[in-house]
Chains A and B, each alone.
Chain A
Amino acid sequence: MKLDLILRVMTKFILPYILVFALYVQFHGDFGPGGGFQAGVIAACMIILYGLIFGLPAAQAIVPQGLVEFLIPLGVLIYAGTGVVGMLLGGNYLEYTYLAHEPSHGHHLGILFVELGVLITVASTMVAFFFAFAGRKRT
């Protein structure tokens, strides 16, 4: 099992850059290509790569199964909650006009929150898929 030394070292080297790229794609998604869906998948790829190289227990030590199962509904709740906040502030459901003083800034803020919800749900769902398949015993 010494043959995968290069893989192990390079994986450790590359992981932080994948995470930074995911965050870049997420928060630069308003100005360049990207958004919650892409960033979520890239962030999940980081955990999946770590799990593939170092084994499932190591990956689950970083992201426990309970945390993943907590984050899947949390993202949907953030998304739906943004809509409810817009409603409480006097608009329609998912209308971001009243989130800030300036309507266009309110829309920008609403987009950021909504994309955050998408990121959390997509990333945790993909990680949950990987954990579910990788944790299964061969029959």
Chain B
Amino acid sequence: MIAGMEGLLTHYTYIVTIFLMVSGLFVVIARGNMVKKLVGLGCFQTSVYLLYIGPAKILGGTAPILAPEYSVYSNPLPHVLILTAIVVGVATLALGLALTVRINEAYGTIEEDEIFARDMVEHANSEESAS
């Protein structure tokens, strides 16, 4: 449990992590532009990296590359998990951007609301011609 000012200092990393996560979530929900959504998703994703790397650090320790001069190292396991997650993150980002470009070619816009509106119009037209 934390107590007041000291707790704020020792938990500052977590608090900022949560703030980044919540901002990313807010952008993904509130903004309709697809590129903006992807940037927000990136914020969310990066905050998860911070959530993993933060607890792995030991004050007074060093990077997990073994050498006789050091004895305290930060925990290497979260580093491995996040290392692969970053590269997978850019791969999925590229996939999302490719879909965005294709949507722009098909609809002429990357705003969610305009895409929905166009879909509604097309749907109504096809029902009219069917009946």
- Report which A residues bind B (CB closer than 8 A): 31-33, 35, 37, 40-41, 122, 125-126, 129, 132-133, 136, 139
Contact = CB atoms under 8 A, between A and B. Distances in A.
Given A133-B98, A133-B101, 10 more contacts: A37-B86, A37-B87, A41-B87, A125-B91, A126-B90, A133-B94, A133-B97, A139-B104, A139-B105, A139-B108
A37 B83 contact: yes
A133 B95 CA distance: 11
A79 to B, nearest CB: 13
Nearest to A37: B87
A136 B65 contact: no
Interface residues of B, number: 15
B101 A33 contact: no
A119 B104 CA distance: 33
B91 A136 contact: no
Interface of B: 63, 65, 83-84, 86-87, 90-91, 94, 97-98, 101, 104-105, 108
Contact of B65 (A33, A125, A139): A33
B5 to A, nearest CB: 36
Contacts, number: 24
Given A122-B87, A125-B91, A129-B94, A136 B101 contact: yes
Contacts of A133: 94, 97-98, 101
Contacts of A35: 83
B35 to A, nearest CB: 13
Contact of B98 (A31, A122, A126, A132): A132
Nearest to A38: B83
B118 to A, nearest CB: 15
A24 to B, nearest CB: 15
A32 B65 contact: yes
B98 to A, nearest CB: 7
Contacts of B98: 132-133
Given A132-B98, A133-B97, A133-B101, A33 B63 contact: yes
B71 to A, nearest CB: 19
